[in-house]
Amino acid sequence: MSEPTRIPAPAGVAPATQYTHVVTGTGRLVAVSGQLPLDEDGGLVGEGDPAAQARQVFENLRRCLAAAGATFEHVVKLTYFVTDMAHLPAIRAARAAHIPDDRLPASSAVQVAALVRPEFLMEIEALAVVPE
């Protein structure tokens, strides 16, 4: 399997912390819609608890990736939508349970005024490249 190439500090760009600036790969693209902190029955997990919500969101991402024949090893980009940037440490902790620091994907974090339901603290989407 061909590993994605990670470029954490392109020439002339400040080094990345907690993400990688550029990730390249060849293969089949897998796009995972923004995942929410819902269990398999559609029930909210972790009301008011960013750590519990982050763990559920990453579990949902894992299941979606698996359905497409992918794993977190194939993820090249994560986008975080959060209602409060103070939730990022909880998200990073949940991410660390699935993605080691030496394999961090490209990432973007955006604070939003609200998500589709007020009890959601975050939504996370992923792009993965699965080698042919």
pLDDT tens digits, one per residue of 60-75? 999 999 999 999 999 9
Per-domain residue ranges of the chain: 24-130
Q: Please give the structure tokens belonging to residue 58.
A: 């990453």
Classify the C-alpha dihedral 43-91-68-106 as positive or negative.
Answer: positive
Does residue 129 surpass a pLDDT of 90?
Answer: yes
State the average pLDDT over residues 81-101: 97
Q: pTM of this prediction?
A: 0.92
Q: Please give the structure tokens belonging to residue 38.
A: 């819902």
Contact 45, 37 (CB under 8 A): yes
Query: How would DSSP label each residue in 72-103?
Result: GGGEEEEEEEES-GGGHHHHHHHHHTTS-GGG
CATH fourth-level superfamily of 24-130: RutC-like (3.30.1330.40)
